[in-house]
Structure 1
């Protein structure tokens, strides 16, 4: 009696084109994740650098209440807000809306703008004491931290 072995190896054959797509998707996803993380790291570094410049300029502005210092401070704050709006606002708009249907981040940007106008008025009029100007600089920095975080 002869027993003939019938193939005992079971194999699953996946067409090559499906394997390639899956492999491409995994490697593409990995690369995209790495690229997105690197972009986010660079974005955060730019914001941190910009925010530290704003704080330094705010101190100079509080010490020397001149038009030149005010213009430099306003330019730095506007640059910071523009960076956040251009790069980071999309994700924040999706996070939530207030009871009127307005984006919370949009209101914060508007409030930063209003605080800058108030600060400009205070410095140009030279009516308010040094501590009030420091308080407004602190408020603007706090709003920027909220916008950033």
Structure 2
């Protein structure tokens, strides 16, 4: 998949992130996660870098950026379902995930 196609997928993720930030519904969150999963699959399939993160996790294992994005999605899902975070925290997490996707893209 070429960079134009990856950019289109990233735009799709961005649009869905806006929907999630407004609606805060499980359905919109599931679609957001699906779009991110598609982006990650295509990014990895097309040979984009999935370099190791430099932070060490418990047990001395390094995480890849893809694993970090997946963990952020799990956290976001839990917080949305628990309705414990205000909108600013939700937007911060959406932006953080987007930043990780951009790191894969460039």
TM more than 0.5: yes
Specify the TM-score bucket, using the shorter chain as the normaliser: 0.7 to 0.9
Pick from 114, 117, 123 the counterpart of residue 74 of structure 2.
117
Structure number with higher helix proportion: 1
- Pair member with larger Rg: 1
**Shift in Å, 1:85:** 1.0
Residue of 88, 96, 111 corresponding to 2:47: 88
- Taking structure 2 as the reference length, what is the TM-score of the superposition? 0.85
Q: Which residue of 2 aligns with 1:108?
A: 65
Unpaired runs of 5+ residues, structure 2, are: 57-61
Q: Cα–Cα, structure 1 residues 114 and 96, in superposed 2: closer, same or farther, change >3 Å?
A: closer
1:28-107 correspondence runs (5 A): 43-89=2-48, 92=49, 107=64
Given the superposition, is the C-alpha separation of residues 125 and 43 from structure 1 closer, same or farther in structure 2, using an over 3 Å criterion?
A: same
Deviations 1:32-66 (A, max 9, x none): xxxxxxxxxx6111101000010010010000000
Aligned-residue CA RMSD (Å): 2.2
Q: TM-score, normalised by structure 1?
A: 0.61
Q: Which position in structure 1 is the counterpart of 2:59?
A: none
Would you tell me which structure has more strand in proportion to its own residues? 2
